[in-house]
């Protein structure tokens, strides 16, 4: 691209048109147009200085003038995985039973374990509202080990599964709420209780 085309671009960007720019700097439009057609280095020095002053550049900078190149998008498209979302997990029913399946979400695979199966569970209630709000979706890594202090989805004594922080104390499993509601208290279960860990919570997402 020639310097003249670069200059023309800068003039139009600054003033809207070459003619308007010419008026602003006090040079005849025909003079400016002639400079752009015949070459900036063939123009009178005083006219070059007027043009440079109008563009807020130094005459010696003309050699370095370049039209700004379009900025290419740096957004990288990440591969995603389609994950089913269920409203609840009920004892005796498959996780993805038709009556429980409410939606699908798409989640970046780089945040997931490729060797695991995931599903989404819609949060209900305020027992975990310090972390998740009612209606949020937690992404659960199915059948994964939940370490002491991690978040998991647990089913106990045949009731619908719940999201809680899990702690272990010898033969006990303690389900700890993360709630602003003081009515929600830790629940302790022992060997006499039927406790099944469905999976580990690995992420969350709002469902709009």
Fold of 3-64: 434 Repressor (Amino-terminal Domain) (1.10.260)
User: For the segment 86-109, what is each residue's pLDDT rounded down to a tens digit?
Assistant: 888 766 666 766 667 888 888 888
* Separate counts of helices (H) and strands (E) for the chain: 4, 9
Give the global pTM. Answer: 0.58
Backbone angles phi, psi at 176, to 5 degrees: -110, 120
Q: Which residues are catalytic?
A: 127, 164
Task: Give the CATH fold of the 80-205 domain.
Answer: Umud Fragment, subunit A (2.10.109)
* pLDDT tens string 33-75: 888 888 877 788 888 888 888 888 877 776 555 545 555 555 5
How many other CB atoms sit within 10 Å of the CB of residue 105? 18
Domain boundaries of the chain, sorted by first residue: 3-64, 80-205
User: Considering just the CA atoms, what is the radius of gyration of the chain in Å?
Assistant: 33
Distant-in-sequence, close-in-space partners of 85: CB < 8 Å, separation ≥ 6: 101, 102, 103, 104, 105, 119, 120, 121, 122, 137, 207
- DSSP letter string, 156-192: ETTPPPEEEEEEEETTEEEEE---S-TT---EEE-TT
């Amino acid at each position: 691209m020639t310097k003249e085309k670069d200059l023309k671009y800068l003039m139009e960007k600054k003033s809207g048109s070459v003619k308007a720019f010419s008026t602003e700097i006090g040079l005849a439009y025909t003079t400016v147009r002639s400079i752009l057609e015949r070459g900036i280095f063939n123009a009178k020095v005083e006219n070059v200085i007027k043009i440079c002053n109008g563009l807020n550049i130094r005459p010696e900078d003309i050699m370095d003038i370049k039209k700004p190149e379009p900025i290419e998008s740096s957004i990288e498209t990440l591969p995603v995985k389609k994950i089913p979302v269920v409203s609840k997990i009920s004892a005796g029913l498959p996780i993805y039973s038709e009556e429980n399946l409410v939606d699908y979400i798409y989640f970046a695979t780089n945040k997931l374990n490729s060797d695991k199966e995931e599903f989404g569970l819609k949060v209900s209630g305020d027992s975990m509202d310090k972390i998740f709000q009612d209606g949020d979706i937690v992404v659960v890594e199915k059948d994964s080990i939940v370490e002491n202090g991690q978040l998991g989805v647990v089913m106990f004594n045949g009731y619908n599964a719940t999201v809680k922080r899990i702690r272990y104390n010898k033969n006990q499993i303690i389900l700890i709420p993360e709630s602003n509601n003081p009515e929600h208290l830790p629940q302790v279960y022992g060997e006499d209780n039927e406790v099944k860990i469905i999976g580990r919570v690995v992420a969350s997402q709002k469902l709009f």
